[in-house]
Amino acid sequence: MVNTKVTLSGWELDNPIIPASGTFGYGAEFAELYDINCLGSFSFKGTTLEPRFGNPTPRIAECASGMLNAVGLQNPGVEHVLHHELPHLKAIFHKKVIANISGFSIEEYVECCRLMDEQEQIGLIEVNVSCPNVHGGGMAFGVCPENAAAVTKAVKAVVKQKPVYIKLSPNVTDIVAVARACEDAGADGLSLINTLLGMRISLKTKKPILANQMGGFSGPAIFPVALRMVYQVAQAVHIPLIGMGGVSTAEDVLEMMLAGATAVQIGAQNLVDPYVCPTIINQLPSVMAKYGIDSLTNIIGGAWK
Active-site residue set? 131
Residues near 302 by beta carbon (within 8 Å), at least 6 away in sequence: 257, 258
Tally DSSP H helices, then E strands, for the chain. 10, 13
Alpha-carbon distance values, 175 to 24, 31, 162, 190, 194 (Å): 26, 35, 24, 11, 11
Amino acid at 75: N
Amino acid at 90: K
The partner residues of 128 in beta bridges, in order of sequence, read 167
Measured CA to CA, the distance from residue 122 to residue 120 in angstroms comes to: 6
Measured CA to CA, the distance from residue 122 to residue 82 in angstroms comes to: 11
Return the sign of the alpha-carbon dihedral for residues 91, 93, 95, 98.
negative
Measured CA to CA, the distance from residue 292 to residue 288 in angstroms comes to: 6
Torsion of CA 71, 128, 225, 96, to 10 degrees: -100
- 117 φ/ψ angles, rounded to the nearest 5 degrees: -60, -25
Q: For helices 175-184 and 145-158, give the axis angle rounded to 10 degrees.
A: 30
